[in-house]
Amino acid sequence: MTYMKAGRMLATLGLTGAAWMSQVAGAETPYEGSRFHDVWEQVSADPYAVLPQNEVKVSKFFVGLKDMLLENSKRTLSNQSDLLPYFEKLVHPNGICLKGTWNITEPNPYTGAFRQGTQALIIARASTALTNTKAEGNRAFGFAGKIFPTADAFHDELVKTANFFTIEDLGGTRKKHYLDSVNTNDIIRISPTFTAFMKGLEGLVVARDFPLAEGSNLQTALIRELYPISELGLKPGEAAVTPIWLKIDAAEGMPRIDESDFRDELTLANYPDGLRFRISVASEGSRFGDKAWQTIGFIDVEDTVVSESCDHRLHFAHPRARKKW
């Protein structure tokens, strides 16, 4: 770490209360919705010839004295767009995009796209929050989803999507397969075997900027609420009922593919019988302890692509926190 980088970091950490409030404030970007086929067409338009190894490093978090991670964090809260002009994903730079269906098959008390009988289109992105993508090192797996309130892949009308974010362990694990990961919307648990990412300035900036953008504390910023899903398709006056926790993991019986890079592992061609993830939810339990998980459905993957637009155009909006932890 250079003295210049350290100086920039210290200067940024010394924000005044007025600067804090001005950075949290921001105008909402108007959002009319998207068409599923338009979004997937863009995401699959520019596949890589060679898989990139985009790095997570503090030098990308700052341009001069401008905190790019903070700016990006605020944008994900205020901009609902499904596609953006080219941008850098500063924490989850390497991913693979998945097209499929979101299917809720089991009775449950929740509303919107959690309701039993729901079948909707989904575009998801499996990623790692660390630089490393290969099995010989720590990988912080994540799974973000964008649910479209329709089962018609060629719908003409614009529809507004519901986004969710799940991560296994922001400190990373040494699991050999992505399909061994258990991703949830609550990342309060971070392994004690931190990588250099979490030990260094990168981890410090992440821990500061996420709650700063939200205007909350770190514990609140580390849980991504699920009300966009439970409110999707509600009738006027209908009250939403939302689970606290969401879990995405591999469906039972899924084979494990021995590829070093998780993006190669998840390529759909490796799964002739299909690639499926389970959808589980819970509202009873504790953040640090056991939860009363109920599996309510599944995600079936119909196509995958590793592309420039997957990494640099596809945008997932974060829901603002309504509950303080």
pLDDT band at 298 (very low <50, low <70, confident <90, very high): very high
pLDDT of residue 5: 34
Retrieve residue 313's tokens. Answer: 């155009």
pLDDT higher at 191 or 15: 191
pLDDT band at 321 (very low <50, low <70, confident <90, very high): confident
Report the distance separating Cα 159 and Cα 228, nearest Å: 13
pLDDT higher at 21 or 101: 101
265: which residues sit within 8 A by CB, 6+ positions away? 177, 178, 179, 257, 258, 259
Report the distance separating Cα 315 and Cα 309, nearest Å: 10
Are the beta carbons of 143 and 277 closer than 8 angstroms? Answer: yes
pLDDT of residue 172: 81
2 has pLDDT over 70: no
Q: Kindly state the helix (H) or strand (E) to which residue 219 belongs, with its residue range.
A: helix 218-221
Give percent of the chain with pLDDT exceeding 70: 78
The lowest-confidence range among 101-105, 222-226, 289-293 is: 222-226
Q: What does the pLDDT look like over 221-274, one tens digit per residue?
A: 778 999 999 999 998 999 999 999 999 999 999 999 999 999 999 999 999 999
pLDDT higher at 49 or 60: 49
- DSSP3 helix / strand / coil % (the chain, rounded to 5): 25, 25, 50
The lowest-confidence range among 64-73, 145-154, 244-253 is: 64-73
| Torsion sign (Cα): 254, 316, 286, 175 | positive
Average pLDDT of the chain is 83
pLDDT of residue 218: 63
| Region 91-112 average pLDDT | 96
Report the distance separating Cα 254 and Cα 184, nearest Å: 19
Q: What does the pLDDT look like over 159-209, one tens digit per residue?
A: 999 999 999 987 788 899 999 999 999 977 655 554 444 444 444 445 544
63 has pLDDT over 50: yes
Residue type for position 268? L
pLDDT of residue 47: 98
Sequence ranges of the domains in the chain = 3-26+34-312
CA 133, distance to chain mean position in Å, is 16
The CATH class of the 3-26+34-312 domain is mainly beta
Give percent of the chain with pLDDT exceeding 90: 60
Report how far apart, in Å, the C-alpha atoms of 317 and of each of 55, 111, 144, 165, 266 are.
22, 20, 10, 9, 24
Report the distance separating Cα 71 and Cα 58, nearest Å: 14
Report the distance separating Cα 280 and Cα 276, nearest Å: 13
